[in-house]
Amino acid sequence: MSTVPQRVSPSQLPALAQCPCYQASRKPSPAADRGGAQHRILSKWIKGGCVGASGDLNPQETAQVRWAYHWIRQISDGQKVEVDVRMTLKDARGVQYMSGSADAVVVPYLIDDDESVIQIVDYKSGEMYDYHRQMFAYALMAMDKYRAGAVLVREAYGRYEKAAPPYRVAREQAQESVMEVVRAVGDPKREPHPCDYCGWCENAGRCVALGVEAEKIVIAQGGLFSYDPQELARNPEELLRAYKVTDYVTAWSEAIKEWANELFVKQGTHIPEDTGYYVQERKGSRGVKDVTAARAASFLEPDIFDRACSVTFGKLVEVYGVECGLTEKEAASAVLAELGGLVVRGVPSKYLAKKRGKS
């Protein structure tokens, strides 16, 4: 096993703890982009000391960031708040092997070594997961940077406008947890383990461990192919055979999800503690139920207010159909005839389709 720490990113630690071969996908992610936009506005507001312009955030995103801003003010209780704090970890030889930025650090006015507790704040725009290893890494870096004896970790989930219970982290505990993953990543004999993060992994299409799982299904379905990632890369026909498997794997996984959702979420069946699953409540998205009344109640000029409104073609066709007694096709023609060039199409996209009747 390698004794040289590998360069890893704190945000990848939760995934690497499950599979040491995980590699973050390089594909652009709309969810990550929106999260980045929220982080930038939150950082700007904290630096400015007040809620200000919200850039290109939509009203829901703005409300989430506003909640986080006020929550950070509350927990900082007048102490100094530093934002986008760049921090590093170095090994015994002074070689840097980890770096990252904490969204915010609440720094007490007096840092008195072992007695001082600083607070690390991490804003999450997505789902609630187990992020403790990432936070342990930030905690270690913060202890080095601020020469503090312990760190209080604060995770804020904008989507739920909810903070996780804070937890105190000591150096030995954090060190052991982070180094366990760093050592596993540096192990030349490391093996991939299919896990919760395969869906976000750059290696997923070529991963033999994941392919073995797929192969079990394929063999059960009549042995369409023998899984070989290299063969898939050079043989388009073999790739299409593998693609065919996704039809029934997707159908199966959606059916299982629906079944589990019905049992645990709708019927409230008890979930055993050690499975790691739980039922999370997500706040419904906010919307305006009466646009005319909202426009009249708003202090904005009507034409400015209208910039926040959108009309879908399908809904407009439905309203035309009901109001004018038209079939869907007639209503669509009427909308196009009356609104003409005001109706626009989104950017076209392509996808892999299957000819009807072809097995």
Judged by the rule CB under 6 A, the positions of this chain that interact with ligand SF4 are: 19, 21-22, 192-195, 197-198, 201, 203-204, 207, 209-210
Asked if 36 contacts 28 with a C-beta cutoff of 8 angstroms, the reply is no
Q: How far is the CB of 212 from ligand SF4 (least distance, A)?
A: 10
Nearer to ligand SF4, 158 or 211 (CB): 211
In terms of Cα–Cα distance, which of 155, 92, 95 is closest to 119?
155
Q: How far is the CB of 43 from ligand SF4 (least distance, A)?
A: 31
Contacts of 225 (CB under 8 A, 6+ apart): 218, 238, 241, 242
Q: CA dist 336 to 313, 319, 341, 343, 347, Å?
A: 10, 14, 8, 7, 18
The token pair that represents 74 in the structure block: 């509350």
Q: How many helices (H) and strands (E) does the chain have?
A: 12, 6
Nearer to ligand SF4, 245 or 336 (CB): 245
* Number of C-beta neighbours around residue 221 at 10 A: 12
* Number of C-beta neighbours around residue 78 at 10 A: 8
Q: How far is the CB of 178 from ligand SF4 (least distance, A)?
A: 19
Nearer to ligand SF4, 5 or 192 (CB): 192
Q: How far is the CB of 196 from ligand SF4 (least distance, A)?
A: 9
Residue 217 falls in which region: left (phi positive, over 0), alpha (psi -120 to 50) or beta: alpha
Nearer to ligand SF4, 152 or 195 (CB): 195
Nearer to ligand SF4, 47 or 206 (CB): 206
Per DSSP bridges, beta strands 167-170 and 150-157 are antiparallel
Query: Residue ranges of the alpha helices (H) in the chain?
Result: 13-18, 30-48, 59-76, 132-146, 171-186, 208-220, 229-234, 236-260, 291-297, 302-305, 313-324, 328-339
Give SS3 for 237.
helix
Nearer to ligand SF4, 202 or 338 (CB): 202
> In which element (H, E) is residue 118 found?
strand 117-124
Q: How far is the CB of 13 from ligand SF4 (least distance, A)?
A: 13
Nearer to ligand SF4, 63 or 204 (CB): 204
What one-letter code names the amino acid at 322? V
Strand partners, 82: 105
Q: How far is the CB of 25 from ligand SF4 (least distance, A)?
A: 9
Q: How far is the CB of 193 from ligand SF4 (least distance, A)?
A: 6
Nearer to ligand SF4, 108 or 194 (CB): 194
Nearer to ligand SF4, 135 or 210 (CB): 210
Q: How far is the CB of 18 from ligand SF4 (least distance, A)?
A: 7
Q: How far is the CB of 8 from ligand SF4 (least distance, A)?
A: 14
Contacts of 108 (CB under 8 A, 6+ apart): 79, 116, 117, 118
Strand partners, 81: 106
**C-alpha–C-alpha distance, residues 199 and 211, integer Å:** 13
Q: How far is the CB of 194 from ligand SF4 (least distance, A)?
A: 4
Q: CA dist 97 to 26, 137, 153, 177, 192, Å?
A: 21, 11, 22, 15, 22
Nearer to ligand SF4, 166 or 205 (CB): 205
Asked if 15 contacts 198 with a C-beta cutoff of 8 angstroms, the reply is no
